[in-house]
Amino acid sequence: MPVERKVTYLLVPTSAGREALHIITNWRKLTKAITEFKIEFYYRVFKERIEFIMSRITLPAGIASFPALFEPVVGFEGTPPKYNVTILWDRDADMSGLKKAIDEAIAKKWPEGRPNNLKMPLKDGNTKLDKEGNVRPEFEGKKFAKASCNATDVPKIVDAQCQPIIDRSKVYGGAEMRVAVSVFAYDKGGNRGISLYLGNVQVTGEGQPFGNASTPESDFGF
């Protein structure tokens, strides 16, 4: 009677097989690492975006100067084009909301303590000089702040009834505006400070356009 024999084959990987197995194992580890990195990256970006949105405040109504709100403009030294506007207020205007947001941004960026020589967004109008070194008349006795945003973040511009403004002549230096901004801290290349990222803009009233010393009525006797 024939005897059954069970034969067990032991597979011994060749050098090429071991190398392939090593590559596959490392590839799986790399894929897992990349996936985990992507999740962490997108979570961080999402978290920062939410925090950025939560830092948004609406500044008090003020007078616009140098508005570039329909077309982005190139900054100094060929910096990327941005939308921007400078807002002026009376010296005694209540800016407590902005100051609170600035303090919160500083505490978040530098929890160990406020650094010295921070560049602040709210400035003294008497420091705004023309080419001859004189204080610009519209800035004299005022305080001001500039807000800007990337060319990809087109600000929405509305009137006092929150209707979109199409007529560009309604948006000029001298008009009264309210501006929504996100307050954030930066630390780049040795420069530290607080900036205002421009959001939406509301034109709340008319005003004397800057640069006009007279009106047609006064010029022509009406």
User: What pLDDT is attached to residue 145?
Assistant: 97
pLDDT tens digits, 169-222: 999 999 999 999 999 999 888 889 999 999 999 999 999 998 654 445 445 544
pLDDT tens digits, 162-179: 999 999 999 999 999 999
Residue type, position 152, single letter = T
- Strands of 127-175, DSSP E: 142-150, 157-158
Q: Is residue 176 part of a domain?
A: yes
Q: Is residue 40 part of a domain?
A: yes
Q: Pick from 6, 27, 54: which residue ends a domain? A: 54
Of 164, 144, 163, 124, whose CA–CA distance to 84 is shortest?
144
Q: Is 194 exposed, middle or buried (0-12, 13-18, 19+ CB in 10 A)?
A: buried
For residues 110 and 161, membership in a common domain is answered with yes
Domain residues for the domain of 87 are: 59-205
pLDDT tens digits, 74-100: 877 678 899 999 999 999 999 999 999
User: What pLDDT is attached to residue 102?
Assistant: 94
| Pairwise CA distance, residues 66 & 74, whole Å | 13
For residues 173 and 63, membership in a common domain is answered with yes
- b/e per residue 22-43 (b: at least 16 CB within 10 A): eeeeeeeeeeeeeeeeeeeeee
The total number of structural domains in the chain stands at 2
For residues 198 and 142, membership in a common domain is answered with yes
Q: Is residue 116 part of a domain?
A: yes
For residues 75 and 48, membership in a common domain is answered with no
**pLDDT category, 157, cuts 50, 70, 90?**
very high
For residues 79 and 145, membership in a common domain is answered with yes
For residues 191 and 142, membership in a common domain is answered with yes
pTM: 0.72
